[in-house]
A and B are shown apart, each in its own frame.
Chain A
Amino acid sequence: QQQVKQSPQSLIVQKGGISIINCAYENTAFDYFPWYQQFPGKGPALLIAIRPDVSEKKEGRFTISFNKSAKQFSLHIMDSQPGDSATYFCAAGAAGGTSYGKLTFGQGTILTVHP
């Protein structure tokens, strides 16, 4: 019940295209859904995050869409650029109890944007 399932495992997009990565969760206690971006040899860095009281959040070219009833959320990268090539992780967290702040991560998506 703690799993977060992420797809696809890898994604190749042409420059200027839209990249879409999907995640699904089971634990209805999750109330925080961040996306992290990781470049080789670096630690993950927070890209954008959403809470379940909204269905969409946009920051620049990055948008999270959230479907609470389906327990799914996705990351859309508009006008994808070669510099966006990285591994993207979705995650989910639940407030309260002894798991406060702990994040459960998806398996990651390797995004390659061709020039």
Chain B
Amino acid sequence: GAGVSQSPSNKVTEKGKDVELRCDPISGHTALYWYRQSLGQGLEFLIYFQGNSAPDKSGLPSDRFSAERTGGSVSTLTIQRTQQEDSAVYLCASSFRTGGHNEQFFGPGTRLTVL
């Protein structure tokens, strides 16, 4: 279909609560990436999926962060026991394949605010 979609667009939560962020990649894209963008900072890599498997989880900042992808499509990023330092824009990107470097198409992001 259209581009990468993410939901919700904005999420305000209280410290200690769990949140789930959703990413719908472009249909047919096998690779999916999660990045985090803090205010005034560049994009920080979190995790990458090839199909449903995650060969690279090296960017997850702590064990409070987890992600899954089902059916080779939708991905969910879960943050447990949120902390104020988790406040950021969480961006999802997808690309057609991983053979060679392929353009990553980004969604609009989810702005997470932890009070």
Contact = CB atoms under 8 A, between A and B. Distances in A.
A98 B109 contact: no
A102 B33 contact: yes
Contacts of B33: 101-103
Nearest to A43: B106
B81 to A, nearest CB: 26
Given A42-B108, A43-B108, A46-B103, A101 B45 contact: no
Interface in A56-115: 89, 91, 93, 95, 98-108
A100 B44 CA distance: 16
A101 B91 contact: no
Interface in A16-57: 31-32, 34, 36, 41-46, 49, 51
B84 interface: no
A45 B106 contact: yes
Given A32-B101, A43-B107, A101 B41 contact: no
Contacts, number: 72
B42 to A, nearest CB: 4
Nearest to A9: B40
A9 B56 CA distance: 30
Nearest to A106: B42
Contacts of A99: 56, 58
Interface in B85-109: 91, 93, 95, 98, 100-109
Contacts of A45: 105-106
B77 interface: no
Task: In the A-B complex, list the 6 residue pairs whose CB atoms are closest, starting with the nearest.
Answer: A43-B106, A105-B42, A32-B101, A105-B43, A98-B55, A107-B42
Interface of A: 4, 6, 31-32, 34, 36, 41-46, 49, 51, 89, 91, 93, 95, 98-108
